[in-house]
Structures are given as C-alpha cells and as structure tokens.
Structure 1
Amino acid sequence: MNAVLDWAAALDPRLVLLSLIGVLNLWATGVTALSRAPTREKMLWVAVIFLCPIVGSVLWFVFGPKLWAERR
C-alpha cells in the first residue's frame, strides 16, 4: 500500500489535470456525436469543446445536447 501512495504523491498535478480535461473533452464529444442533434449543431459543439477545453466542456454540460433525455 505504501508503494501506491508514494506513486500517487509523485504524480505531477498538471499532468493529472490535463488528463482529466482530455477525458472530459472526449466524453463530451462522444455524447455529442451520439445525440440526435443536427450535424451542423454537432460540429459547432465539437469546435467549442476543443477550442475552449475547460469552458467549452462546462458550456456543453449545461447547454449541449442531452443524450439521456432523448432516449426516454
């Protein structure tokens, strides 16, 4: 257990944050691609997500296509 804690303590916080942002961007892009929104709207959201990674992902989460609402 001590080796795991040592490994976690040695991680660079910037690398962890960058990885989390990357995963969030990929997830937002995947859900956008699977939505039933028009293609033009999908492309606009993907552009916003990748041009402004942090703000774009937050805006997508609040205002973007809702995949889970469409499948009910």
Structure 2
Amino acid sequence: MNAALEWATGLDPSWLLAALLVALNLWATWLIVLSAAPVREKVLWVMVIFLCPIVGPVLWFVFGPKRSMLES
C-alpha cells in the first residue's frame, strides 16, 4: 500500500492533466460517432475536438445534439 501511495504522489500533475484531456477527447469522439447526427456534422465535430482539444469537448457537450434521458 505504501508503494502505491509513493508512486501516486510522485506523478507529475501535467501528465495527469494530459491523460485526463486525452480521455475526455476520446469520450467525446466516441459519443459523436454513436450519435444520430448526420455524417457531415459528425466529421465537423470531430475536427473541432481535435483542432481545439481543450475547448472542443466542452463545445460538443454544450452545443452538440442532445439525447433524451429516456432513450438511453
């Protein structure tokens, strides 16, 4: 247990932030691919996410097509 704690406290915060950003971008891209939006919209949203990796996923979650909670 002590070794795991030492390993976790020794991580560089910038690597953790980068990993979180990559995970967020992949998740948003996956949701775009699974959405019912037209292919043209999907391509544009994926381009936005990869060209603006910090703001892109936020824009998708705010302005992207919405699914009803009952559809899931």
If the length of structure 1 is used for normalisation, what is the TM-score?
A: 0.89
Partner of 2:36: 36
Unpaired runs of at least 5, structure 2: none
Identity %: 63
Give the count of matched residue pairs.
Answer: 71
The residue type equivalent to 2:46 in the other structure is: V
| Partner-residue secondary structure (3-state), 1:69 | coil
Bigger RCO of structures 1 and 2 (CA < 8 A, at least 6 apart): 1
Displaced runs of 4 or more, over 4 A: none
Cα distance in structure 2, aligned partners of 1:51 and 1:3:
39
Cα distance in structure 2, aligned partners of 1:51 and 1:33:
17
Unpaired runs of at least 5, structure 1: none
Cα RMSD after superposing both structures = 1.5
